[in-house]
Amino acid sequence: MNTGAPAHTHRPRGEALWRPGNGACVGCGMSLGLQWLDQALDEVRPYMIVPASCAVVTPGSHPNTAFGVPMVASTFASSAAVATGVSRIAKLNGETDPIVCWAGDGGTYDIGMATLSAAAERNEDVIYFCYDNEIYGNTGGQRSSATLPGAKTTTTPIGKREPKKDIMAIMAAHRVPYAATLSLGHRDDFMRKMQTALRIAGFRFLVMLSPCPAGWKSDPAEGIDLARAAVDSGLFPLYEVFDGMRYRINARPDGTPLTDYTSRQGRFKSKSLDVKAMEAAITEQWAYLEGMEQVFPAAGTDAPID
Amino acid sequence: MSRAFLTGNHAAGYALVAAGEANRGARGCCGGVYPITPQTEIIEYLSAARFSRGAIVPVESEHSAMAVCMGASLNGGRSFTASSANGLLYMVENVFAAGYYRLPIVTVVSNRTIGPPWNLWVDQGDSLALRDAPCLQFYCESHQDLVDTILVAFRVGEDARILLPALVAQDGFLLSHTQMVLDLPEQELVDRYLPPLDLAHRLNQAHPRTYGGMTWPRDTEKQREEIQDAMDLVPTVLEEALNEFASVFGRRPDGAFSAELTTDADTVLVANSTMVRTAREVVKSRRAAGERVGLVKAKLFRPFLRDQFEKAIGAARRVAVLDRNHSPGSGGIFWTEIATSLRTRSDVLLQDYVVGLGGIDVTPAVIEGILDDVQRRDGSVAPLFIPEAAL
C-alpha cells in the first residue's frame, strides 16, 4: 500500500515563503530574492514551480523543506510548461493565486529557453522569475549563455569569449505584457516591479542579477554592493518593457567605473577580461535602451506609473 | 450505445475527451499536445473538442506536452496526451517524472518506428523504450479495444492504490488510420465509470508540500518500493476495473493476458496489438486442420504479470513469441519478459521471432512460417529475425 509518497514533502505552513534553516550559501542572492518575493506578495500565497537549480537543493531534504508554500521541483527544462498546466486548471476553477516560476539562468537562458519562449508566446498567466547568477551555480560554476565575457568558470577556465545573451530583448520580442530587470541593490524598485507584475495578467518576465559568492569568488558581505555597482556602472540596466514595445528606464549609470564591479570578483581575474570592450558594449546597450525609451516610451500609455 | 465507424486516432480522441469531460464536476481536464505522425489526428481531435471544463494547450514539444499534463494533474485536473516514435522519446524524461510524482496521466501512443532513418510505419520500439518507466503499458488489438482500454487506464491509474501514468498503445496506421465499426461509450456511461478525480496529494495552499525535492537514498528506495507495491496491486485493481466496465457498458475488455484455444494446446503463439488478429485467424485454421495450437494475447506489458502469463500458456510445451520491436544486443522485448516468467519451466521450448520491424506486414504466411518453425525445432536459439524464421 502507499503510505504517502516520500517525493511529496509536507510541513505545516510557517509564516514565511522561504523559511530559515535553508541551506543557501552565505550571501546568496537567490535566497534574499525569495525573501523579498515573499514580502512583495504580502498575504498572497503563490504556487512555486522551480526547475533544477540551487532553489531545489537548498530547501533541504525530505521530510524537511524551507518552502512554506506549495513548490513543485520540476524537470530542468519544464518549469514554464508545468506552470502552464497548473495555471490552466486554476483558471478553470476560478482560482487566482499567482503561479511563479523561480528559475536560474541555466533553466532560463539555456535548457528552458524553448519552454519559456513557448509559454511567453502563449501569454500564459504566469510570473516567470529568473535569478541570474550568470553560471550553473548548483553544479559548481559552469558557463551558461548568461555568463559575461571574460568571466572564468569551470568550463571556461581562461574566461568566456562570447557576450552574454540579451534575455530582455528576447522576451520583449515575444511582446509579453511585462518584462523587467530587478536588482538586490535597489529594493524599492524591486518591490514596485513585483507589485506591477502582480497587477498585470498574462506572462510576466522578471530577471534579477543574483550575486553568488561561491561562483563569483566574491566576499559574501559585498553582494548588495556588487548588485548596486552592476547597475550604477551601467552593466545591468534597470528597466521595464510593457507589451514588448514600450520602454521605461528606472536607473541610469552614475559614472561608477566598471572596474568597481569586476575588481572585487575572482571570476574576472582572467587574462581574457577586456574591460574596454565591455565598456564599449555597455555604451552601445545604453544607446539602444535610450533610443527605445525615446521612441517607444512607457509613460503616457496605460502602463502603471509610480 | 452508439455504433460508429472511426479511425483509431479519432476513436482514441473520443475516449480521451469523454474521460476529460467526465471530470467536469470536479476540477476539469487539461492536456498539453504536440503533433507527430501517426498520432496527430488525436491531438487535432482534442483541440477541436468543446469541454465543459477543460483546456487543450498546443505546446512547442512533447517534453513540454507532458510537463503541461504534470502541472494540470498536480493541480487536480484529469490529464492526457498522445505521442509517437521520436516524439515519445523526447517526452521520456517527463513520463518518468509523472510516474515519480504519482500522477495518473494517460498517454495514447500510436506506435511508430524510431528514426533515423525516418520511417512512419509501426514498430513498438517507441513505447517499449519506456520499459523501465514508472508507468503502465497496454497494447490494443482493435479500435474497440483501444477505446475501452483508455477508459480502463484512467480508472486503474487514478485509483488511490495505484496513482501511476499509463501508456495505451495502438499500431500506427494499422489502427490509427484505418476505420472499424465500434461501440462508442456514451458520455453518461463514462461519467458513471470514471469517478471525479480526487488526487489526495494535489497542490494545496492549506498543506504546502514540496513536490520532488531532494531525498536521501533510503527515502528514494522507499519511494521506489511504493511504486513496486502499486504495480503489485495492478492485477487486483485491473480486475475490479474490468468487472465494473462490464457492469456499466455490458462488455468486458481483455485483461493482461487472454488465452484463446490454449486448452490442450501443445504450441502457443504469443502476440500483441494487431498481430493478435492475424495470429487468431491462423490459429483457428490450424485448429480446424487438427493441430493443437493456441494463442495468448499479451495486452498489459507493465506491470508484466509473470504468474498470469505462465497460467495463460496452459500445458503448452512450445511457445513462439512475436515481437514487433527489437532491443539491440538482446532481442524481442516481450520475449525478454516472457523468458523471465518461464525461468523455472525447462519443459517449455521458448522461441522469439522478431517480426514486422519498421512496419513490414506480419501476414498470415509469416505466422504460418513461425508456427512451422517452432513446431519442428529441437531447441530454442537466439531471437530470429523473420527472414530467417520464415525459411
Closest CA to B51 of B80, B27, B29: B29
Pick the residue from chain B with its C-alpha nearest to A71: B210
Distance CA B3, CA B6 (A): 10
pLDDT over 90 (residue A9): no
Question: Cα–Cα distances in Å, from B133 out to A283, B79, B192, B228?
Answer: 52, 18, 30, 11
Q: What is the pLDDT of residue B209?
A: 95
End-to-end Cα separation, chain A, in angstroms: 56
Mean pLDDT, to the nearest integer, of A100-111?
Answer: 98
Cβ within 8 Å, pair B71-A91: no
Q: CA separation (Å) from B310 to A200, B23, B128, B275, B344?
A: 62, 38, 21, 20, 10
**Distance, CA of B251 to CA of B147 (rounded, Å):** 12
Count of CB pairs separated by less than 8 Å, A with B: 203
Q: Do B210 and A1 touch (CB under 8 A)?
A: no
CA distance A248 to A242: 8
Contacts of B230 in chain A (CB under 8 A): 2
Q: In what order do the strands lie in the sheet with B349-354?
A: B257-260, B293-298, B267-271, B318-323, B349-354, B384-385
CA distance A66 to chain B (A): 9
For residue A214, CA distances in Å to A60, A141, A227, A261, B50 come to: 19, 8, 15, 16, 52
Identify the pLDDT of residue B388. Answer: 58
Q: Across the interface, do A56 and B61 touch by the CB < 8 Å criterion?
A: no
Of the candidates B312, B291, B295, B270, which has an alpha carbon nearest to the alpha carbon of residue B372? Answer: B291
Mean pLDDT across the stretch A121-130? 98
CB neighbours of residue A128 within 10 Å: 28
Say how far apart CA B16 and CA B2 lie, in whole Å. Answer: 17
Cell of B25: 464536476
Contact B75 A71 (CB under 8 A): no
Query: B226: which chain A residues are within 8 Å (Cβ-Cβ)?
Result: 2-3, 5-6
Residues B275, B225 contacting (CB under 8 angstroms): no
Q: Is residue A18 part of a domain?
A: no
CA A243 to chain B, closest CA, distance in angstroms equals 21
- Closest Cα in chain B to A96: B205
Say how far apart CA A169 and CA A241 lie, in whole Å.
9
Distance CA B13, CA B147 (A): 9
Q: Which one of A82, A111, A121 would you mutate to disrupt binding with B, by most B Cβ within 10 Å of its Cβ?
A: A82
> Residue B234: closest CA among chain A residues belongs to which residue?
A1
CB contact under 8 A, A93 and B28: yes
Q: Which residues of B touch A86 (CB under 8 A)?
A: 71-72, 74-75, 203
**CA gap B343, B300 in Å, rounded:** 20
* Residue contact A89–B64, C-beta within 8 A: no
A84·B67 Cβ contact <8 A: yes
Query: pLDDT digits over A201-212, tens only?
Result: 999 999 999 999
Q: Do the Cβ atoms of B37 and B209 come closer than 8 Å?
A: no
A183: CB partners within 8 A, 6+ apart: A189, A190, A208, A209, A227, A228, A230, A231, A236, A238
Cβ neighbours of B23 in A, within 8 Å:
none
Dist CA A56 CA A79 (whole Å): 12
Q: Which residues of A are less than 8 Å from B205 in CB distance?
A: 13, 45, 69-70, 97
Q: Is residue A131 part of a domain?
A: yes
Domain count, chain A: 1
What are the C-alpha distances in Å from B69 to residues A112, A204, B15, B88, B98? 17, 22, 17, 14, 8
Contact B214 A57 (CB under 8 A): yes
| pLDDT (tens digit per residue) in A229-245 | 999 999 999 999 999 99
Residue of A nearest to B92 (CA): A75
Q: Which amino acid is at A89?
A: I
Nearest CB among B28, B212, B219 relative to A72 is that of B212
Contact B335, B271 (CB under 8 A): no
Contacts of A73 in chain B (CB under 8 A): 210-213
Q: Peptide bond before B253: cis, by omega within 30 degrees of 0? A: no
ipTM for the whole complex: 0.97
Concatenated DSSP letters of A37-99: HHHHHTT--PEEEE-SSHHHHTT-BTT--SBSS-EEE--TT-HHHHHHHHHHHHHHTT----E
Question: How many CB atoms are closer than 10 A to CB B290?
Answer: 7
Q: Tell me which residue in A8, A13, A97 faces B211 most closely, judged by beta carbons.
A: A8
> What is the predicted pLDDT for the residue at B390?
57
Give me the domain span that covers residue A153.
Answer: 29-295
What string of DSSP letters covers B282-293? HHHHHHHTT--E
Distance from CA of B58 to the nearest CA of A (A): 9
Which residue on chain B is closest to A13 by alpha carbon?
A: B208
Question: Using a CB-CB distance cutoff of 8 angstroms, which residues of chain A are in contact with residue B27?
Answer: 89, 92-93
Q: Which of A111, A120, A56 is nearest to A84 (CA)?
A: A120
User: B86-115 in b/e burial notation, b at 16+ Cβ within 10 A?
Assistant: bbbbbbbbbbbbbbbbbbbbbbbbbbbbbe
The three grid cell numbers given for residue A158, joined into one nine-digit string: 581562461
- Ramachandran quadrant class, B185 (left: phi over 0; alpha: psi -120 to 50; beta: rest): beta
Per-residue pLDDT of chain B (391 residues; tens, 9 = 90+): 689 999 999 999 999 999 999 999 999 999 999 999 999 999 999 999 999 999 999 999 999 999 999 999 999 999 999 999 999 999 999 999 999 999 999 999 999 999 999 999 999 999 999 999 999 999 999 999 999 999 999 999 999 999 999 999 999 999 999 999 999 999 999 999 999 999 999 999 999 999 999 999 999 999 999 999 999 999 999 999 999 999 999 999 999 999 999 999 999 999 999 999 999 999 999 999 999 999 999 999 999 999 999 999 999 999 999 999 999 999 999 999 999 999 999 999 999 999 999 999 999 999 999 999 999 999 999 999 986 555 4
- 3-state secondary structure at position B259: strand
> How confident is the model at residue A305, as a pLDDT?
41
Sequence ranges of the domains in chain B: 2-249, 257-389
Is residue B103 a contact partner of residue A5, using CB atoms and an 8 Å limit?
Answer: no
Contacts B160 to A, Cβ<8 Å: 2
Residue A122 domain-assigned? Answer: yes
Closest partner CB to A67 (pick from B60, B161, B208): B208
CATH at residue A269:
3.40.50.970
* Residue A44 · residue B192 · CB < 8 Å: no
**Nearest chain A residue (CA) to B226:** A2
Q: Where do runs of H (alpha helix) occur along chain B?
A: 8-21, 40-48, 62-74, 85-100, 125-128, 143-157, 187-193, 217-249, 275-288, 306-312, 333-341, 364-376, 386-389
Query: Are the C-beta atoms of residues B147 and B117 closer than 8 Å to each other?
Result: no
Most A-contacting residue of B57, B69, B75 (CB-CB within 10 A), to test interface: B75
pLDDT for A300 equals 54
Q: Assign domain B257-389 to a CATH class.
A: alpha beta
Residues present in chain B in total: 391
Residues A245-271: tens digit of each pLDDT = 999 999 999 999 999 999 999 999 999
Looking at the structure, give the CATH architecture of the domain made up of residues B2-249: 3-Layer(aba) Sandwich (3.40)
User: Nearest Cα to B175, choosing from B367, B38, B332?
Assistant: B38
